[in-house]
Amino acid sequence: MFPLHPFTEVERDWRGASDFYGWVLRSVNEPSLLIHAQISKDRIYRFTLFQTLYAKIVIMRLRVASDGRGLLSLKLATSGRLPRVYKEESKLLSKEQVVDLTSEFMMSNYLDLVPYMPMHGLDGEGWLLEASVDGYYHFTLRQSPQEKEIRDIGGKFMAFYLDEIRKDPPNQALVPTPASVTPAADAPVAPDAGAAHL
């Protein structure tokens, strides 16, 4: 259903993008769905929207329960040198809502899309869609995506939290954090740096 090792079809410069997005997800304590697919058959879907540098990062993760209902979690984080989560929410979805949100992954041409397309010299939003289903993992990563399948799925995710996503982060969150500054005691603790993401 989803290819277990999607990287064989990815362009050579995928490694740089993988390192960057992996670093972002680790920084805000997000699990690796690639690793999850190797140890569990639970269904998890994730949409990550990286607006622009020093804007904000939107991460939405859906975990589907055995009864078909789902828990949709939202994280809003600052970007820059040290991403920090400044807002978290979650809501329960009915079986019908879960089916509506996830059906695009299977019913559209999403699975036929190339996982990664190079992003050379373009400024725009980064859209990362991931799915870990029945022990298989699939992703697509685009900058300002044009494919209808990707925009439809991302749009359905964002519709659940549109008001929260539209709000600007706190002003102080937009100030870049110098690399030399020691993280605060309550800053997110990154998982093992060796853990694979994407």
**pLDDT, tens digit, 9 for 90 and up, residues 180-189:** 334 344 433 3
Q: Looking at the whole model, is its pTM more than 0.85?
A: no
Mean residue pLDDT of the chain comes to 76
* Contact predicate 146/41, CB 8 Å: no
Q: How far apart are the C-alpha atoms of 157 and 74, rounded to whole Å?
A: 10
Q: Does 154 have pLDDT greater than 80?
A: yes
Nearest to 3 by CA among 98, 109, 115: 115
How many angstroms separate the CA atoms of 81 and 155, rounded? 27
CB neighbours of residue 198 within 10 Å: 23
Distance, in Å, from the CA atom of 87 to the CA atom of 105, rounded to the nearest integer, reads: 27
Residues 42-97: pLDDT tens digits? 899 999 998 766 678 999 999 999 999 999 999 999 887 788 899 999 999 999 99
